[in-house]
Amino acid sequence: MKVIDHLKGSSETLFSFEILPPLKGANIQSIFNGIDPLMEFKPKFINVTYHREEYLYKEKENGLLEKISIRKRPGTVGICAAIMNKYHIDAVPHLICGGFSNEETENALIDLNFLGIDNVLALRGDPIKTESSFKPHLDGHSYASELINQISEMNSGNYLIDDVKMEGTNFCVGAAGYPEKHFESMNMETDLMYLKKKVDAGAEYIVTQMFFDNNKYFSFVEACKKIGINVPIIPGLKPIKTMNHISFLPKFFHIDFPEDLSKELLKCKTNNEVEKVGEEWGIEQSKELMKKKVPCIHYYTMSNSLSVKTIANEIF
C-alpha cells in the first residue's frame, strides 16, 4: 500500500519510523531486534536509509595509492523486502542521487518494482567524507527534483530507451523538507522554492528533517501552504540519547535546540540523564503534534528503538 494512501485513509495521527542498515557483517536479526519492540504501535510504514560508497586509499607496491570503494551499510533493498515479508508492513527505501548514474537508478527502481515495493523516499544525498561538497555522478542527477522527475517518468511508462513507451511503474514518492532550512540554501525562501520543485516533479508527501522546536515545524507548514505546497508534511523526530548528541546533532544536521531544552541538557552529566531528558522532550513534542492532528509522526531510531518505544508508550 502506498504511503499517501495510508495518510489519506486515516483520520488519526499515524506512527512510523526509520532504521539504518547494519554495518557490513551483521545479520538481519539485528534489524528485527530494533523493529520488534515497536510493532505494538502498529507502524504503517518503515523507512530504510541508504548509504553510498566511501573511499579508502591503499598504498601499492610501486608506492602509488589505489582508490578502493567500500559500502559500510549495504542491504537497503534486501532489508525492505525482509521487512515486508516478515511483518507485512510497507517498507520505504531511500533512493539517492549520489553515486548513481541515471541507468543505475532506473535498474534499481525496476528491482524495487519487481519486489512489490511501491514507495520510495527520493533524496539528493550527502557528500562523502572525501568531498568538500556534493558531487553528482557524471551521468546522474544533481538534485532530488531530477530524481523524482525520473521516477515520475517511469510511472508514466517513459524509460531511458528513446521513443519506446513501456509499462509504467506505480511508485509513491516522498521528499525531504527542512523546517530550519537546508544548510546549502541561501535562505528559507529559496529552500522552499526547491521543495516546491520536488512536489511539482511528483513528490506526494514530505518528511521533515529532525527538529526540536514544534513552532518551526508549524511555521514551515504554513510557509509551504503559502507557495502552493499542499501535500501532507510528516514531522520527523529524533530522541536525544547521549552526551555526544548534544554537540553532534546541531553540528551535523544544522539544527538548533530550543532554550528550554538546552538548559536541561547542560545539567546532564551522563548518557542516562541525557536519554531521560530526550525522552521527556520527545513526549511533549509528540503530544503537541498529536493535538494539532499532524498526519503522522515519524521517528528517527538510528536502529536503537528503546527511547522511541518509551515515547510511543505515552502517545499511541
On the question of pLDDT at 132 being above 90, the answer is no
Nearest to 173 by CA among 95, 225, 81: 95
Residue 86 has a CB neighbour count (10 Å cut-off) of 13
Q: Are 201 and 145 in contact (CB under 8 A)?
A: yes
Q: What is the mean pLDDT of residues 50-67?
A: 64
pLDDT at site 24: 85
Domain of 165, in residue numbers: 3-315
Q: Are 287 and 315 in contact (CB under 8 A)?
A: yes
On the question of pLDDT at 240 being above 80, the answer is yes
pLDDT at site 44: 97
93/114 Cα distance (integer angstroms): 14
pLDDT at site 69: 56
pLDDT at site 62: 67
pLDDT tens by residue, 245-286: 999 999 999 999 999 999 999 999 999 999 999 999 999 999
Reported pTM: 0.93
User: For 33, how many CA atoms within 13 A lie in the half-sphere containing its CB?
Assistant: 9
pLDDT at site 165: 76
The model's confidence at residue 46, banded by pLDDT at 50, 70 and 90, is: very high
- What CATH number is associated with residue 91? 3.20.20.220
Give the cell for residue 236.
Answer: 520527523
Q: Express as a percent the part of the chain with pLDDT over 90.
A: 82
Nearest to 268 by CA among 255, 280, 277, 260: 277
On the question of pLDDT at 173 being above 80, the answer is yes
* b/e sequence 219-252, b meaning 16+ C-beta within 10 Å: ebbebbeeeebebbbbbbbbbbbbbebbeebeee
pLDDT at site 109: 96
Note the residue count of the chain: 316
- CA trace torsion 3, 9, 11, 15 (10° rounding): -30
In the chain, the number of structural domains is: 1
